[in-house]
Amino acid sequence: MYLKVALLLAGTVFLYGQSPRVSQRETTVSATRDAELLASPLSLDELTEEKATQLEEAARRQVDRAKARLERARTMVDAGLEPRKNLDAPAEELALVQAIYDLTLSRTELVHQWFEMASLEQQSLESSAESFAPAVPGLPPVMEHFDGGRSFTPDDLDRVKNAFEQHFHKILPVSAEGETAVHRAMGFDHRNRVDVALFPDTSEGIWLRQYLEASKIPYYAFRSSIAGKATAAHIHIGPPSTRLAAGKRS
């Protein structure tokens, strides 16, 4: 039995190039930092893409650590050094951190979509209309604009939401209402603007554009400019996002 334990410890030193005590201390510090990062009370509107990536990496490291602990426990059990019940705790821990990882991805995916949407809007401000012409003749352009002739107010948004819900019996999929950390980081004033995560040419997207036009509400309809990548496609309701003054960026 002692020989088996010695071999297991020697293998750990060989793999990591340091004593198990030092490795465990560094892992504990790293795990604490990751747990604190994931527990930070940040709303979606406060997340930048950089912060979202940090959260994803922290959650992934938690999963990797839990898998490693379960594997070490399984090795000890298979060697007859520990009872099988000792697998219960690391297995439960892995299930917990996997759930945290899945939840983290569900939050950060929307932030990545905001970044892609804001990138398309940035391109629309900095490029000519020809830049959005379809690559294949006969296809609709990447971006279409309806001026509307008037402003867009919170009351307008409430009417749009109610009309959509009555027609489709579900909530309007608003992805960004007002400004977010992503828009601020990219230098855009997104106040009193709304992004709706609908592809412009679906039945829901067509209905929404027709409703906005009938109500004389301005909008921009963006189709993905990257082949096979539709997450950036959306309908921006309201006037175009303007540039923030340098001092107003986060």
Predicted confidence (pLDDT) at residue 123 exceeds the cutoff of 80: no
CB–CB of 103/96 below 8 Å? no
pLDDT band at 45 (very low <50, low <70, confident <90, very high): low
Higher pLDDT: 198 or 183? It is: 198
CB atoms within 10 A of CB 10: 10
Nearest-10 crossing angle of helices 20-39, 2-16: 60
The model's pLDDT over 5-30, given as tens digits with 9 standing for 90+, comes to: 333 333 333 334 444 554 666 667 78
Say if residues 114 and 222 touch (Cβ distance below 8 Å). no
Please tell me the pTM assigned to this model. Answer: 0.55
**Contact of 222 with 201, CB cutoff 8 Å:** no
